[in-house]
Amino acid sequence: MSANHDRARALGKELIDTHNWLRGELGRVARELDEHREGDTIRPLRELRGHCLAFCRALSAHHTNEDESAFPLLAQRFPELAPVLRELGDDHRLVADILTRMTALLADLTTENVTAVRNEITGLAAILESHFRWEERRITEALDQLSAAEFTGPELFGTATRDAGDTAARSSQQ
């Protein structure tokens, strides 16, 4: 197997890795919200808000990169995927609506509206899990056929935001 083919196959894996990271971050945010609601944390609301907003930015950047880079490229190279890519884009708009509601709630996060944010997270988690699994089943094989010399994960999936989100999360914990 050529090195180029190995790298190309890594693009499909990188998409899955990005989704797994986003799943983990969403779980972390949900746990932090639950801990706050249950009074099991001394974490200030501003820190909780920062974690939630960092997740929202990372997810939004991931979907934006897919919509602007990965999906047009895949539609060009694999026209048979165009209907799937349109549906995935529709999912991205649905997720963006949820993120807009969450961001509005987070603008004035209080003990009283933590439950509303948590409810949005619950709905978002269900939609994302279905979306991620379907996307992984439908486009990973096509990603694995792309030339590695032409494309990178950060260009296609917004994975550079993952590093920024990790840095922001670590700095807010200190």
Residues 6 or more apart in contact with residue 26 via CB below 8 angstroms:
55, 59, 121, 124, 125, 128
Tens of pLDDT, residue by residue over 24-33, are 999 999 999 9
- Residue 127, domain extent: 3-173
Residue 54, phi-psi category: left (phi > 0), alpha (psi -120 to 50), beta (remainder): alpha
Single pTM value for the model: 0.84
CB atoms within 10 A of CB 52: 26
Whether residue 152 has pLDDT greater than 80? no
User: Cα–Cα distance between 46 and 92 in angstroms, integer?
Assistant: 27
Residues 6 or more apart in contact with residue 128 via CB below 8 angstroms:
22, 23, 26, 59, 95
Tens of pLDDT, residue by residue over 114-128, are 999 999 999 999 999
User: Are the C-beta atoms of 139 and 81 separated by less than 8 Å?
Assistant: yes
DSSP H/E element including 24: helix 3-37
Number of domains in the chain: 1
The enclosing domain of 74 has a CATH number of 1.20.120
Whether residue 56 has pLDDT greater than 70? yes
User: Are the C-beta atoms of 119 and 90 separated by less than 8 Å?
Assistant: no
